[in-house]
Amino acid sequence: MLTRSDDLHMLLAVIDSGGFSAAAEALDVQVARVSRAVTKVERQLGVSILIRTTRRIELTDEGKQFVDTIRNGLDHIQQAEQSLIMQGELPRGRLRVDAASPFVFHQLVPLIAGFNQAYPDIQIDLSSNEGFVDLLEKRTDVAIRIGELTDSTLHARALGKSELYIVAAPNYLATHGAPKKVNELAQHDTIGFSSPKILNRWPLKGFDTLTPKITCSNGEAIRQLVLAGNGIACLSGFMVRRDIEQGNLIPLLTNEKITDTGRERINAVYYKSSSVAKRVSAFIDYIKPKLSL
């Protein structure tokens, strides 16, 4: 008897999500069904694929080889099905997109209505995470990443660069004055990121990593704190350019800035062999020329 592809999909879900319960939640099925599917695959193959412990699951040596093979095989099947279905049609299906919340709010949300009109059969699932996102673990099709890329297993398309700005609100500057030199920042209230700490290394000549008075894990929250007059922060142009144009934020130390630090780069990353490749391409092609970075 041949193993059914839906049983194999459940097996991969267990491996990618790290457990039976997590896989069942991701697939929206009962845990018992996932467990039966994995047991069925192992019984039909006559080998153990998973080592189950109370804390986690691990692949056996035979399981590692088998999973790599079926992942590629299922991917080719899905691509063939999608190509046949979508011949002469617009891409369709669910597309899971992840980005840091400021990018979602300021860049993606304004474009969704137009994208839905252009591709009515694609269902967008937006999520926001402030840190590194594992595409497999989070079941994400395409992620927008800001800064240098380190994961060589992913494919990337450059979306552009977003200049960094040192900014403060007019009411803060009216009370505290504006720093004229980099070393004067030590006398000011500064707002930075609780993590990763590298985001507190502002692109200024002779500037060491900042120890902010106020820290936050969310860039949009930092923007709101700055707009409310709580201090000085370093933020990307894609989230503060309009504030600067409207006079709600004032750029500081512009002559002391260092450009092209790597943090300005914005990329869309994805697995190129994914069965949702046409949806990913449609999404990136649509948003890239419309972003205001």
Distance CA 222, CA 189 (A): 13
Task: Judge if 222 and 246 occupy the same domain.
Answer: yes
Exposure string of 129-160, with b = 16+ CB inside 10 Å and e = fewer, is ebeebebeeebbbbbbbbbeeeeeebbbeebe
Task: Judge if 147 and 181 occupy the same domain.
Answer: no
**Helical segments of the chain, H only:** 5-17, 20-27, 31-45, 61-85, 101-103, 109-118, 170-176, 219-227, 237-245, 277-287
- Between 219 and 195, whose confidence is greater? 219
- Tens digits of per-residue pLDDT, 132-189? 555 555 577 888 888 877 765 677 889 999 999 999 999 999 999 999 999 889 889 9
Rg from Cα positions in the chain: 23
Query: Which pLDDT does position 136 carry in this prediction?
Result: 55
**Which CATH number belongs to the domain containing residue 195 in this structure?**
3.40.190.10
Q: What is the chain's mean pLDDT, rounded? A: 82
| Weakest mean pLDDT among 16-25, 52-61, 172-181 | 52-61
Distance CA 37, CA 232 (A): 55
Distance CA 134, CA 151 (A): 10
Task: Judge if 179 and 227 occupy the same domain.
Answer: yes
268 close to 159: Cβ distance less than 8 angstroms: yes
Of 64, 85, 106, the residue that ends a domain is: 85
**Which CATH number belongs to the domain containing residue 46 in this structure?**
1.10.10.10
- Tens digits of per-residue pLDDT, 258-270? 888 888 889 888 8
Distance CA 263, CA 258 (A): 11
Give the dihedral of Cα atoms 62, 22, 131, 98; nearest 10 deg: 100
Task: Judge if 182 and 247 occupy the same domain.
Answer: yes
Task: Judge if 137 and 278 occupy the same domain.
Answer: yes
**What is the helix (H) or strand (E) element at residue 274, kind and residue range?**
none
Task: Judge if 269 and 224 occupy the same domain.
Answer: no
Task: Judge if 36 and 115 occupy the same domain.
Answer: no
Instruction: Report the share of the chain in percent with pLDDT over 70.
Output: 86
Task: Judge if 284 and 149 occupy the same domain.
Answer: yes
Residue 228 exposure: Cα atoms within 13 Å on the Cβ side: 8
Query: Which pLDDT does position 7 carry in this prediction?
Result: 79
Domain that holds residue 242: 164-256
| Weakest mean pLDDT among 9-13, 72-76, 101-105, 172-176 | 72-76
Query: How many domains does the chain contain in total?
Result: 3
264 close to 165: Cβ distance less than 8 angstroms: no
224 close to 231: Cβ distance less than 8 angstroms: no
270 close to 135: Cβ distance less than 8 angstroms: yes
Q: Is the peptide bond before 196 cis (omega within 30 degrees of 0)?
A: yes
214 close to 220: Cβ distance less than 8 angstroms: no
Prediction pTM value: 0.65
Task: Judge if 98 and 53 occupy the same domain.
Answer: no
Task: Judge if 70 and 192 occupy the same domain.
Answer: no
- Tens digits of per-residue pLDDT, 102-114? 999 999 999 999 9
* Closest among 96, 36, 44 to 70, alpha carbons compared: 44
Query: Which pLDDT does position 239 carry in this prediction?
Result: 92
Query: Which pLDDT does position 2 carry in this prediction?
Result: 44
Q: How confident is the model at residue 233 (pLDDT cuts 50, 70, 90)?
A: very high
Of 85, 112, 147, the residue that ends a domain is: 85
* Closest among 290, 218, 206 to 256, alpha carbons compared: 206
Query: Which pLDDT does position 128 carry in this prediction?
Result: 82
Task: Judge if 175 and 249 occupy the same domain.
Answer: yes
Task: Judge if 196 and 179 occupy the same domain.
Answer: yes
pLDDT over threshold 50, residue 48 = yes
Of 52, 85, 118, the residue that ends a domain is: 85
